[in-house]
Every structure is written in structure tokens, then in C-alpha cells.
A and B are shown apart, each in its own frame.
Chain A
């Protein structure tokens, strides 16, 4: 294939536009000083050391990971069985579910947050105000679509009805069929959903700020707090966040690339 200089130029430009902010933040995290010059004056690990020793950093990372893994557990235990059940046994509900999962994205964040506050502020007998549980439960509807899309893609590639009926003829229960046949077949869709949810929760600011704020500070809250202070420390925090998200998205890419081999 002949290399087209215009195409290469455009791709290079796109690459620069996408990666320049990340490179700039990275350089700022290591810069001794960076003002009035194209590149920093010198480089240091000092900001990293200062950030790591700040008790707020450890607390924010720990809280973010608690939220991420907590919400993964909660959302996977609710969304995955619901999506499987709707697809396999209740096709009419499945169509409804397809509409419901995009609803949280159609509603403004503030409305959703207020709704969650009303729901979990004791009006209906559940009091979770200021607790991470409020976020863990609140992220479930947000995460549902992130399971729904990849799982539906895997499920649609299966002749589910025939597989279930083949199982019934063998005397296999529904639960066993789901566990031994259907779930392994959509495993990659579930894994993609898990990683996307992880990325969503660890990046999320609006709900965590509105619903629990300083009572359960996450990395995003700490970023918000640090915005008025040292830009270098903020850059360090952003880089740590980038690395975590990068690992998650790399995993997604690897899984997506392997999907064709699965079935």
C-alpha cells in the first residue's frame, strides 16, 4: 500500500491533538518549574513524593477503589442477571430494558442526583446520606448500559433459545444452563462491562461531589480541591488517574481484539 503524505500528516496531527494534553500534564508532574518556556526548566520526582506522602492522596485513592470495586460488585450482581433473564426469558421486558438503560444518560446529572438524594434520604425508609453506599447504589443505573451493550452484542450472536432447549432435553436446569453455557459465552461482554464500569466510577465527579462530597473524598474530589493549589501536585494526581484508566482501557482493547476468537 502506498503511503499517502496527506493522510499521514492528518493522522500525526490527530495523534498530537489527542496526546499533547496528556504529555503536557505528565511533563508538569515532573517539572521543577514550568512557566514562560516551551519545556520545563528541570525534572524531579519531588512532586510525586510530596503527593504520595499526603494523607489525602492515600485516602482518595483508597476511597475511589472502594467505590469502583463496590459498585462493580453491586452492578454486576444486579445488571448481569437482569440482562440475561430479560434476553433469555422475557423478550418484551428486554425491549423495555433496552430503553431504560439509556435513560440515566438522557436525564441531567443534577436531576438524577436529586432523585437519588430523595430516594436514599429516608423518604422511603432507606437512609444512606453521605455514605459511599449512596454512590454504589446510584452508579447501578449508570452502569447498566455499559453491561447491556456488550452483553447484548454477545447474546445476539448466540441462538439462545436453541441452546436452552437443547439443555432442557438433556435435563439441565435453567440456573445450570446460565452458569455453564450462557454466561461463559457472554463472558467477554461481561468483562468489557466490568472494565467500562470501573472506568466510569473512577472518573466520575458530578455524583460523588453532589451526593457525598467531602464525606467520602475520591480522587476526583481531591483533584477539585487541589485545583486552587499547586498545579504540579494536581498533575501528579491526574497522571496516577490516567495510569489506572489506561490499564483498564488497555484491558478492554485486548479483550475486544480477542472477541472474534471466542465464538
Chain B
């Protein structure tokens, strides 16, 4: 039996179904990332798990205990909200201690725990600051400290990094990963950012239109998307319908192909590869460690990622190139 089990959970508002028949399992110490486009129901699912909204049907158990009938604070859950929900009238230390006071902690025990959390999150110099005086990143750390101080069985995070700028977000993703490895908490992390999902998740559940369409390890979801929708959402995958495959590569297939941009090789001269096409570079983007080319092949645009090397300048626009694909890198997408 898994640490967190969700079975056939459904929720609707009036006649509108938010999500239906959601089932998932999370092992202890695992971070499960719920990823999906805005409005797919992931935040409502999180709120139902937290007890802030009631499902129409289904079952949730945490550590073998059915929690559906319990009040939010009885479920052993802590939550980090999208806008942090820090109490504005309290300092960093007071925010953490207020949370612990509700668990009956008092005196030296309380002070020690607060100090430990402030230390863990490296908030020492800002312990007496109010939330209004903190940066976005610091607020996020306080929210995480307040949640972790409660030693929850399950930590829920509702897009906690979405309001931060890219640089801070990347730094905090690394910090979160490090913290999780150190403490080993079990978490459900909601995001609409597929890159964030791949970085943070031990397991990823892709939600679309109120349903989990694929669940698995990040490399499984990325490497073998279950359907067109997942392929279109995770990564920048080229999806080629059977007639397009014929048009571009001259191959006959019953199923659509999903080709990751990094699995397509570019060369100036043709070689002996079985799956090959000729095209022309129409656009290029330097993405740091990679260069993303847009190549026009038989009227079809394909994305191709090539490792960027300081010694080799990117290929100029208009360059005629050969595209080669290894058969093992082709993912078939059935209808």
C-alpha cells in the first residue's frame, strides 16, 4: 500500500466537472509533481487533498489513514500557497511560531523549533522582518519553513515558484531539491511549468481537462509521452502525423511520430542513415547550452536542438542541412 493513495476522486462545481476519477499513488519521501495547463483542475485537486474543498466522490488515504472525513488540520498536511499566505502582521519568526503554537508547542521547545527552521532556511538575518519587507524568494522560504515546521506527513505546494523571476526560480528549485533530499518529506507539487516538473518530480502526473493522462518518472513521461496532448505539453516535441512522416521522411507508418528536438541530428552532407530528410534552416535560438534550429522540410517546420559549442558558431540562416533520425528515438503516438 502506498503512503498516499487517491482513488476515483471526482469534483464538480454545479454542472461543470473540475476533475474526474483521479487515482494516484505517492510513496513516502517522494515528490509528485502535478503538471498541466491552467484550468486543468490541479489546484482544486490539491485543495481537495488538503481538505479545503470537498470531493463529490472518491477516497484519500495518507499513511494508511482515510482522511476524507477529517478537518484540514487533522490530516497531517501542510500547504505552501501560490502567494505564500504569510500572516502580514507577524514577523518571520512569529509566522513559524504561530503555526507551532497551534500544535501545542510552548516555551523552550517552541523557541528551539523556530530557531531550527529559521536556520534551515537561512532566514536568520530576516527573522524579525515582516513579510512586506521580504523579497519573493525569502517569502517563499518562510512559507516553506512554516509548513515544514509542522513536520507534516504530506506537504502540498501550489505553484509556489510561479510568482518569482526566472533566475530566483531556478535557484529555489535547486534549494527545494536539496532540502527534500535532506529532510525526505513527501510532497505534491503543483506547477504549470513542464521544465519545473521535470526538475523537481520523482514522479510526474500530467493533468489535462480534469484527468491524469500520464503518470510516471520524469524520464518516462518526457521520453515516452502517452499521447499527443502530453507530447505537446511536455518539452518541445515535434509531432508528425502519418502523412507528414511520409512527406518529410518518406516512411510509411500507421501512428504519428513524436520526435524530441535533441534526437534529430544535423549534418551538411548526407550519410547512410535510413531515416533522413533535407531541409533549410529558417530560424535559430541560442538557449544557453543548446541552439534550437527551426528547419523547413517539405513545407513542415521541425525543431532541432544541437549542443552549442563556443568553438563552433551556429549554422547561418538559410543553410541547407540533412536531418537524421535514429529509429530507436522515434516514439509512436497511437490515436
Residues of A within 8 A of B (CB): 158-159, 162-163, 165-166, 168-172, 180-181, 184-185, 262-263
Contact = CB atoms under 8 A, between A and B. Distances in A.
26 contacts: A158-B88, A159-B85, A162-B82, A165-B50, A165-B72, A165-B81, A165-B85, A166-B81, A166-B87, A168-B51, A168-B52, A168-B71, A168-B72, A168-B73, A169-B52, A169-B73, A169-B77, A169-B79, A170-B99, A170-B102, A171-B73, A171-B102, A181-B87, A181-B90, A184-B89, A185-B89
Nearest to A160: B85
The 4 closest A-B pairs by CB, nearest first: A171-B73, A166-B85, A162-B85, A184-B89
Given A162-B83, A180-B98, A181-B89, 6 more contacts: A158-B88, A168-B52, A169-B72, A170-B102, A170-B150, A262-B132
B144 interface: no
Contacts of A158: 88
Given A162-B81, A180-B98, A169 B88 contact: no
A172 B150 CA distance: 14
A170 B89 contact: no
B81 A172 contact: no
B68 interface: no
A162 to B, nearest CB: 4
A116 to B, nearest CB: 38
Nearest to A164: B85
Main secondary structure on B side of the interface with A: loop
A171 B82 CA distance: 20
Interface string B86-119: 0111100000001100110000000000000000
B193 to A, nearest CB: 21
Contact of A163 (B78, B79, B85): B85
A165 B89 contact: no
Interface string B252-289: 00000000000000000000000000000000000000
A53 B72 CA distance: 65
Interface string B62-84: 00000000011110011101110
A169 B98 contact: no
Contacts of B85: 159, 162-163, 165-166
A165 B73 CA distance: 10
Nearest to B82: A162
B81 to A, nearest CB: 5
A159 B77 contact: no
Contacts of A181: 87, 89-90
Interface in B212-244: none
Contacts of A180: 87, 98
A169 to B, nearest CB: 5
